[in-house]
Structure 1
Amino acid sequence: MKAKSAVTLDRVLSRMGHASRTDTREAILAGRLKVNGRVIRDPECWVRPGRDHVQFDGLPLKPARKFYYLFYKPKGVITSHGDPAGRKTVYDYLGEERRWVFPVGRLDKDTSGLLLLTNDTEFADFITNPGSRVSKTYLVKASGLISDERIEKLTAGVQMKRGDWATPQLVRRIEDRGKYTWLEVVLAEGKNREVRRMIEAVGFKVLKLVRTRIGPLTLDGLEVGKGRPLGPAEVAALKRSGGRQGL
């Protein structure tokens, strides 16, 4: 029987910021972890942080330095550590020293724009929790000319095909260009393919989608496929930007 304070070994390692859950499991299976002097190859092994002595590559397990990275994801790249089909992932753009970070939320393959990566699980949970109200802003190119009435419907909240609701903070027309409508959409939640599905709910399709902002962070100064570390002031500003102060 596990103690109330016990957690699985893979979770201990990922919480301390040394690797993603996937990489953590691989390290454990490879025999790189010891618990109380014994090599453990079971990622689901229960350990008691602060009581059990855990070693990683022969050294006592200590929290890794927290790292926060802002990346301009290109279209056609998947937000995953690996892909069985051999498609390019965001990790193909990162240096070796950043391969132990994980994405904060997801952008689908056909969406470009801002993506946060970190090894700080509490920070990631805060940013992705809808209750934190950290806004994400998108530039949308939609098929056809969307009427003011349908934009008002989107703004008020719209039920999508799966039965769930999209409740954006803002939907505004930027311009009509030819046969297309360009919109700015601001969300504080992160449902799967939400922008695409909410536009489909009013009878149109998304032709181009770019995430331009996360809280106070923007694409300014970033080239497609490039990124940069976040400074302490930027991380603090992100934590303050939500409607719930949780960190």
Structure 2
Amino acid sequence: MKSRLQKLIAQAGYASRRQAETLITTGQVSVNGRIVTELGSKADWDTDRIAVAGKPLQRERNLRYLLFYKPKGVVSTLRDPEGRPSISDYTRLLRGIKERLYPVGRLDFHSEGLILLTNDGELANHVLKASTALPKTYWVKVSGRPSEEHLERLRRGVTIDGRRTAPAQIRWLRDAGASGRARQQAGVYRTSRENPWLEVVLVEGRYHQIRKMFQLVGHPVEKLKRVAIGKLTIGQLQSGKMRPLTEAEMFGLQKATPRQPRARGKAGAPPLAAAWRSPERQRADPAGNRSPHSKRPTGATKAKSGEPHS
């Protein structure tokens, strides 16, 4: 049965549907040897030869779903033209995973927190698109103490870059019910009257949205941490580390998205101890594998930019 090319590319785990559309319109996709640039074009897995960037497109068999705690000072893309640390510096340390994982959504360079990594383009599409987007929870430290009038204005929605933001949930972190252990885990040890922490829940993810919202009411963001994506929480995950989703988390994610992830693959990586080695262990590895923050070897080719970043 024929399906739209962007859907097949997403099913293959090569890219999300949105990214697949860009691949098509820029002439990087071919069907049976002919370049296709029309977004409405269709193909059949069983009878057509589909290629992306000149390489045959294969159906993805092993679907992977991991949570990553992006540290501050890391771009949430696979490559960065400026040579800054990127997510791929961490995913390449995973052992036993050959699939290409990419981030679902973004966090800006100066923010930290939870990012979902997967090779399931269909799931990524449902998580990202506006009509089915999962709510994302942030803990935000701002300069000064916003008035209740300012917070209510942000809750209702404000105009940023010519567009009005969707309604948001905003409350003081001390009123959000987060345990002391959870706050400590996220680096929130105490909140002062002068520089308080707030919990912000958004159903959209525009460029630097939270920073622009609070800047608009005169209270610039000092720190920003994403602590949850839907019901996926940061828990005890340490900065710079990642782990596969549990069965319960996968079940919840399937219920939260209109089309559940295909069950033909694995729910996550191999056991974390086998799949992930910390930078410290990498530096001690006699095989010569580099840590995420080690310098590139002299003469290494500079990676081209992959996904857009905030």
Q: TM-score range by the shorter chain?
A: 0.7 to 0.9
Partner of 1:80: 77
Higher strand share: 1
Partner of 1:225: 240
**For 1:21-36, what aligned pairs fall within 5 Å after superposition?**
none
> d(CA) in 1 for partners of 2:116 and 2:165?
22
- Residue among 19, 34, 48 paired with 2:43: 48
Q: CA deviation at 1:189?
A: 1.2
Q: Which amino acid counterpart does residue 144 of structure 1 have in structure 2?
A: G
Partner of 1:203: 218
**For 1:58-207, what aligned pairs fall within 5 Å after superposition?**
61-94=58-91, 95=94, 97=97, 100-160=100-160, 162-174=161-173, 177-207=192-222
Deviations 1:174-219 (A, max 9, x none): 2551521211000111111111111112121111000001111111
Give the gaps of 5 or more residues in structure 2: 24-28, 175-190, 261-310
Contact 2:137 2:227 survives alignment (8 Å) = yes
How many residues matched?
228
> d(CA) in 2 for partners of 1:225 and 1:18?
24
TM-score, L = length of structure 2: 0.63
> d(CA) in 2 for partners of 1:66 and 1:229?
11
Contact 2:69 2:115 survives alignment (8 Å) = yes
Q: CA deviation at 1:240?
A: 2.5
> Structure 2 vs 1, CA of residues 189 and 54 (structure 1 numbering), >3 Å: closer, same or farther?
closer
Q: Which amino acid counterpart does residue 222 of structure 2 have in structure 1?
A: L
Partner of 1:212: 227
Q: Which amino acid counterpart does residue 52 of structure 1 have in structure 2?
A: D
> d(CA) in 1 for partners of 2:240 and 2:34?
36
TM-score, L = length of structure 1: 0.78
RMSD: 3.3
Give the gaps of 5 or more residues in structure 1: 26-32
Deviations 1:11-45 (A, max 9, x none): 745531257869xx8xxxxxxx9976xxx696869
1:17 aligns with 2:45: no
Deviates more, 1:202-211 or 1:172-181: 172-181
> Structure 2 vs 1, CA of residues 154 and 35 (structure 1 numbering), >3 Å: closer, same or farther?
closer
Q: CA deviation at 1:83?
A: 1.3
**For 1:229-244, what aligned pairs fall within 5 Å after superposition?**
229-241=244-256
Contact 1:70 1:115 survives alignment (8 Å) = yes
> d(CA) in 2 for partners of 1:78 and 1:60?
27
Deviations 1:146-184 (A, max 9, x none): 111111111122222x12222244100125515212110
Contact 2:171 2:199 survives alignment (8 Å) = yes
3-state SS of paired residue (1:180): coil
Contact 1:34 1:55 survives alignment (8 Å) = yes
> d(CA) in 2 for partners of 1:177 and 1:196?
20
> d(CA) in 2 for partners of 1:60 and 1:217?
31
Q: CA deviation at 1:7?
A: 2.8
Deviations 1:117-153 (A, max 9, x none): 1111110111112211411000000011111111111
> d(CA) in 2 for partners of 1:195 and 1:182?
13
> Structure 2 vs 1, CA of residues 99 and 52 (structure 1 numbering), >3 Å: closer, same or farther?
closer
Give every structure 1 segment of 4 or more consecutive aligned residues whose post-TM-superposition deviation is greater than 4 Å. Answer: 11-14, 18-22, 33-36, 40-47, 53-56
